[in-house]
Amino acid sequence: MKYYFIAGEASGDLHASNLIAELKEKDSKAEVRGFGGELMEQAGMQLSKHYREMAFMGFLPVLMNLKTIQRNFKACEEDLFEFQPDVLVLVDYPGFNLRMAEFAKKHGIRVFYYISPKIWIWKKYRIKKIKAFVDEMFTILPFETEFYKGLGYEVNYVGNPVLDAISAKPAKTDFSDFINQNKLADKPIIALLPGSRLQEIKSLLPRMLEGTTSFSEHQIVVTAAPNIDEPVYEKLIQAYPEVRVLHDKTYELMQQAEAAVLASGTVSLEAGVLRCPQIVCYRMDGGTLFYWIGQYVVGITLVSLVNLILKRMAVKELLQHHCTAANIRKELNLILNDASHKKQIMKSYDELSEKLGEPGASARAASMMIDKLNEKN
């Protein structure tokens, strides 16, 4: 079979790479090509374009880069048409991927979607395009099956690939070994994970730094996204000489940290699975207005994956104008100095583990995809 993948950010690259590896294991004749990252390439995909050329977030950045986005669409359409795959496999990233789903459908190419767009938070109207252009949806969150059923659309729940990615990593090392290997101080760690997109890093990291560096008994360590150039971080942390930046150590850092301040997204779930107490941050253009619209017009009450799965505020969310250094400092103080508060977070993580179940999502998704493709042949 010939598979064309599109992933537009770091987490999509990770989970798509695991799925590609499983497809190649189960389909000896698999040919894979597409848009993504180095992890997908390492798994055996012929990389046509890297996602670092596609990651635009927020109204203004998208508006300012419209010509680049249009060129990316055109390049993808031409590459897809040239490759003529048996199936287009889309990984999250809905703004780009739903347009490509429409293009593929019009040209007789089957469309599978792996990792659903988060239409249960925002833009529920996208269900019309999903119903029209997506042949099979493979979901990774336990509540999505019920959500889509309520919209008259059947999905395939495969479990969460975060469990696969974490289980594939080596076991947690001793703290002393970790700090020695990474040339860190012998002090407890506060981890900062400001996201994988340039716009969110520039928005979140300054607030995270201001809100955390007053905890003098701890060291502050930032995780760098693989698609972001080093000078971006150097400029943002230049006023904080004690802060360190680590590359390719996200899971290892969260295993060692006493707390993490992180961008809303997959990393929130990763922190929950790794049992790292967390504060979830989110900011985009529009500030208070978008917060008001989300809360009172659209009805958004929770955004982090941990909270959505547990259906309550299990970990603190600081959204839009609430995402300030003062609020980060306040919530971090609770995690570090209030034992009962931390104990409640850990109890929520126990419940999260029960709901997520066992690893194996990538293998289950690959088997389902191959079966469904063979049914049509």
Worst-scoring range by mean pLDDT, 60-69, 133-142, 199-208, 284-293?
A: 284-293
Q: Report, as an integer, the average pLDDT of 143-157.
A: 94
Residues whose CB is less than 8 angstroms from the CB of residue 43 and which lie 6 or more positions away in sequence, other chains included? 16, 17, 18, 20, 21, 24, 32
**What is the arithmetic mean of pLDDT over 117-142?**
92
d(CA 189, CA 276): 11
pLDDT grade for 377, boundaries at 50, 70 and 90 = low
Percent of the chain at pLDDT > 90 equals 79
Contact yes or no for 137/117 (Cβ under 8 A): no
* Residue showing tokens 């802060």: 243
- 87, 105 contact by CB (below 8 A): no
pLDDT tier at 96, thresholds 50, 70, 90: very high
Report whether 247 contacts 217 (CB < 8 A). Answer: no
pLDDT, tens only, 9-66: 888 999 999 999 999 999 999 999 999 999 999 999 999 999 987 755 554 555 556 6
Each residue of 194-217: pLDDT tens digit? Answer: 998 888 999 999 999 999 999 999
pLDDT at 344 (0 to 100): 98
Could you give the 3-state DSSP secondary structure of residue 257?
A: coil
- In DSSP terms, which residues pair with 278 in a beta bridge? 260
Q: How far apart are CA 105 and CA 337, in angstroms?
A: 55
pLDDT at 296 over 90: no
Inform me whether the pLDDT recorded for 68 exceeds 90.
no
pLDDT score recorded for residue 295:
46
List domains and CATH numbers for the chain.
2-159+360-375 (3.40.50.2000), 168-356 (3.40.50.2000)
User: Which helix H or strand E contains 26, and what residues bound it?
Assistant: helix 10-26
- Judged against a pLDDT cut of 70, whether residue 118 lies above it is answered with yes
The C-alpha angle 122, 162, 284, rounded to 5 degrees, equals 35
List residues bridging with 2 in a β-sheet.
31
HEC per residue, 316-349 = EEEEHHHCCHHHHHHHHHHHHHCHHHHHHHHHHH
pLDDT higher than 80, residue 112 = yes
Q: What are phi and psi of 255, to 5 degrees?
A: -65, -30
Place of tokens 């996602």: 51
Angle, in degrees to the nearest 10, between helices 10-26 and 361-375: 60
Tell me what pLDDT residue 70 has.
85
Residues 224, 229, 234, CA angle at the centre, nearest 5°?
70
Task: For the full predicted model, state whether its pTM sits above 0.75.
Answer: yes
DSSP state of 169: S
Structure confidence at residue 196 (pLDDT):
87
pLDDT band at 287 (very low <50, low <70, confident <90, very high): very low
Q: What tokens appear for 360 in the block?
A: 């194996």
Looking at residue 325, its pLDDT comes to: 97
Nearest to 98 by CA among 68, 73, 120: 73
Nearest residue to 261 (alpha-carbon basis) of 229, 238, 283: 283
- Tell me which residue has tokens 């390049």: 75
Q: Which of 67-71, 154-158, 191-195, 334-338 has the lowest mean pLDDT?
A: 67-71
Q: Can you tell me whether residue 212 is helix, strand or coil?
A: helix
Q: pLDDT digits over 152-169, tens only?
A: 999 999 999 999 989 888
φ, ψ of residue 7 to 5 degrees: the values are -130, 140
Distance between CA 178 and CA 196 in Å, rounded? 23
